[in-house]
A and B are shown apart, each in its own frame.
Chain A
Amino acid sequence: MDSSEESHAGASAQAVRHAPWPGPADSPAGATESRVALRVNGFSHTTEVDHRTTLLDLLRERLALTGSKKGCDHGQCGACTVLVDGRRVNSCLLLAVAQDGAEVVTVEGLADLAGEDGDLHPLQRAFLDRDAFQCGYCTPGQLCSAVGMLEEARAGAPSAVTDPQQGLGSAVRLTGEEIRERLSGNLCRCGAYPHIVEAVRDVIA
C-alpha cells in the first residue's frame, strides 16, 4: 500500500469540508483507480483506490482500522458509522474516491477527539458504566453516531420529533424520545437500546 503517514496531533473532526483537495488530479480518462488523500484519526494517508472501494472497506482492509463494522453493507444498520468532516455517515455507502480530502474519525479516534490523551471519550466511558452493549458489534457505530448526533442537536438541527415551536438555531433539548429518534439509524440485534439511551443521557446531563 502506498501510504504516507504523519501525525497531526489534536486534529479536530469539526473541520469544515475542504475545497477540492489540492493534491491528486482527476485520474486519466477511463482509469478505474485514483489516488485519494484522507486524514483518518489525525493521520494523513495517500493511497490508490479502485473506484468501487467504499470508505468502510478502505478503513478495514487497507488501513487495518477494523473498529468500524460491516453489518449489512447497504445503509440499513449503522454499524459502519464514522464521522466525515465532523458529520456522522454510513461508510459502507460512501465511495472512497469521492471522499478525497476528507477528515475521517472512526471509533479508534474518538478518545483523541475528546482531547484527553490515552483516556476514553466520555461517551465510551458512559457505555461501559451503563453496560450499553452485549455482543458489542453495533457499539462502534452507536458511539460514532451518538457523537455526531450530540453535535447536531447542539447546533439546533431538528429531528422528526422536535417541537416545531422550538427556537430556530438554539440547541435541542435531548429527551429520551429525541435520543431514540436520532439514533434510529443504528440497530442493535442484542437489544441494548435502553442502556444506550441511558449512556447518552449521562453525557448530556
Chain B
Amino acid sequence: MKPVSYVRARSVEEATAAHAGRGEARYLGGGTNLVDLMKLGVERPEVLVDITRLPLDQVEEQPDGALRLGATVRNSDLAAHPLLRDRYPVVSQAVLSGASGQLRNVATTGGNLLQRTRCAYFQDVSKPCNKRVPGSGCAALDGVNHDHAVLGHSPHCVATHPSDLAVALAAVDAVVELAGPGGGRAVPVTDFLRLPEDVPERDTVISHGELITAVVLPPLPPGSVSRYRKARERASYAFALASVAAVLRLEDGVVSHLGLAFGGLAHRPWRARRAEAALLGARPTPEAVARALDAELAEAVPLRDNAYKVSLARDLAAQVLGSLTATA
C-alpha cells in the first residue's frame, strides 16, 4: 500500500470538493471493499475522503410513500429497519444473505452498490485484466470462469456484479441519487450499473468524483409480495452463484405486476424484462413460468465452466415465483 492522505468530510459539499481537490481520491465508506483492494494493490488512492460521518445515515419515508435509504446507512441497520422489513422484504432479505454480521455492521448502502467484482483475476495484479488495466486482456475468458457471467458479457470482460442488495434494488425499480461538483442527478439502478461492452473498467455510469447520497425505493404496488433467494457454495457467508429477487402482484389470479431480477449471472443485476412481459396478464402456472424463464435465459451464452448457472437460475426463479404465487 502506498502512503495516503485522509480527509474527514463534514458535509456533502466538503466531500465532493475534497475528492476533486488533490491527487487520486476515493470515498471511504465502510472500507470493507476498498481497504481489501488497497491491500491487494488493486486500488492505489492518494487521498481518502471519509464519508461515514456525513448526515446520510437515515432511512426516511418520503411524502409520496417512497423510502429513501441514506448512502451511509450500515447494511445491518438497513436490513433491520422496520419499514424496509415491512414493505420491501426482498431488499432486507438480500442484504441479510450477503457477507457476515461483522461486515454488514460496517458496509454502507453506497459502498455495497459500488463494490468491485470478485473475479479472482481482477484481484490478482499479476494477471491480465481489462477491468483493472484497460487493454491488458481478460484472464477469465479462457481461465477458470466457474463464477463468471452467462448473460450480457463481452470479449473484454466476463465478470459478474457481486452485490446481493443491488439485485433486490433492480427488482424494485430503485433510483440512485448522486451529488457532484456540477450538481445532483438521479439514475435508475438498472441504468446505473452497466454491462461491460468495450469499457469494462467502468462498472457504473458514475462520474469521477460523484457521490452517492441515497437510494430511493418507490412504493410497491399495493398487495404485492416479494422475496430474495440465493444459491451459493456453502450455506452462508459466500457470494451468490446465482440469485433471484422478485416482486409479484396477482389480481384475480393473474399477474398484474412483476419485477424479476437475477444476480450472479451478469456484470449487473439482470432484470428479466422478457420473462416479465411474458407473464404479465397471465396466470403464473408452473408451465407459464417455465416458458417465460426459458425465453429469458435463451439469451445465455455460458463459458467453459459455468453452464450450470443457467439451469440453477431457472430453477431458483421458478421456486421463488411458485412460493410467491402461493402467498400472493
Task: Enumerate chain A interface residues (CB-CB to B < 8 A).
Answer: 20, 26-27, 29-32, 34, 50-52, 54, 73-75, 78, 81, 87-90, 93-95, 97-98, 100, 145, 148-149, 152, 155-160, 162, 164, 168-169, 180-186
Partner of B101, one of A26, A31, A98, A145: A145
Q: Are B97 and A52 in contact (CB under 8 A)?
A: no
B108: min CB distance to chain A, Å: 12
CB distance from B207 to the nearest CB of A (A): 24
Distance, CA A78 to CA B101, complexed state (A): 10
Bound together, the chains give a CA A145 to CA B105 distance in angstroms of: 11
Q: A74-B39, A93-B32 are in contact. Are A158 and B85 (CB under 8 A)?
A: yes
Residue of A nearest to B100 (CB): A185
**Top 4 nearest A-B pairs by Cβ distance?**
A185-B100, A184-B236, A32-B3, A184-B237
Q: How far is the CA of A186 from the CA of B236 in the complex (A)?
A: 11
The answer to the question of B86 belonging to the interface, with a C-beta cut-off of 8 Å to chain A, is: yes
Residues of A within 8 A of B76 (CB): 87, 152, 157
B80 contacts A26, C-beta separation under 8 Å: no
Q: Are A51 and B6 in contact (CB under 8 A)?
A: yes
Residue of B nearest to A160 (CB): B96
Complex partner residue of B52 from A32, A98, A182, CB under 8 angstroms: A98
Q: Which residues of A contact B53 (CB under 8 A)?
A: 20
Shortest Cβ distance from B131 into chain A, in angstroms?
19
Determine how close the nearest CB of chain A comes to the CB of B12; give it in whole angstroms: 16
Please classify the interface of chain A as helix (H, G, I), strand (E, B), loop, or mixed, using the class held by over half of its residues: loop
Q: Which residues of B contact A160 (CB under 8 A)?
A: 93, 96-97, 236
Q: Are B100 and A98 in contact (CB under 8 A)?
A: no
Given the interface pairs A88-B102, A185-B101, the reply to whether A34 lies near B22 with Cβ below 8 Å is: no
Whole-angstrom distance between the alpha carbons of A34 and B38 in the complex? Answer: 19
Q: How far is the CA of A89 from the CA of B32 in the complex (A)?
A: 10
- On whether the beta carbons of A88 and B101 are closer than 8 Å, the reply is yes
- Of chain B, the residue at the smallest CB distance from A141 is B102
Sample (28) of A-B pairs whose CB atoms are under 8 Å apart: A20-B8, A20-B10, A20-B53, A30-B5, A32-B4, A51-B4, A52-B38, A54-B35, A78-B102, A87-B105, A88-B102, A93-B31, A93-B103, A95-B31, A95-B35, A95-B48, A98-B28, A98-B50, A145-B101, A148-B102, A149-B101, A152-B101, A158-B80, A168-B86, A169-B82, A181-B235, A184-B101, A184-B235
Q: B4, B22, B103, B235: which contacts A75 (Cβ < 8 A)?
A: B103
Give the interface SS of chain B, mostly helix, strand, loop or mixed: mixed
Say if the beta carbon of B106 comes within 8 Å of chain A.
yes
Asked if B106 and A51 make an inter-chain contact with CB atoms under 8 angstroms apart, the answer reads: no
For A31, give its contact among B5, B89, B97, B105 (CB under 8 Å).
Answer: B5
List, in ascending order, chain B residues with CB within 8 A of A78's CB: 100, 102
Contact B5 A32 (CB under 8 A): yes
B1-50: which have CB < 8 Å to A?
Answer: 1, 3-8, 10, 22, 28, 30-32, 35-36, 38-39, 48, 50
List A contacts of B145 (CB < 8 A).
Answer: none
Is B300 interfacial (CB-CB < 8 Å)? no
Q: Would you call A89 and B85 a contact (CB within 8 A)?
A: no
Q: Which of A30, A94, A164 contacts B31 (CB 8 A)?
A: A94
The reply to whether B3 and A50 contact each other, CB–CB distance below 8 Å, is: yes
Interface flag for B79 (CB, 8 Å): yes
Q: How far is the CA of A187 from the CA of B41 in the complex (A)?
A: 25
Which one of B7, B35, B82 has the highest number of Cβ atoms from chain A below 10 Å of its Cβ? B35
Question: Given the complex of chains A and B, what is the CA–CA distance between A87 and B104 in angstroms?
Answer: 10
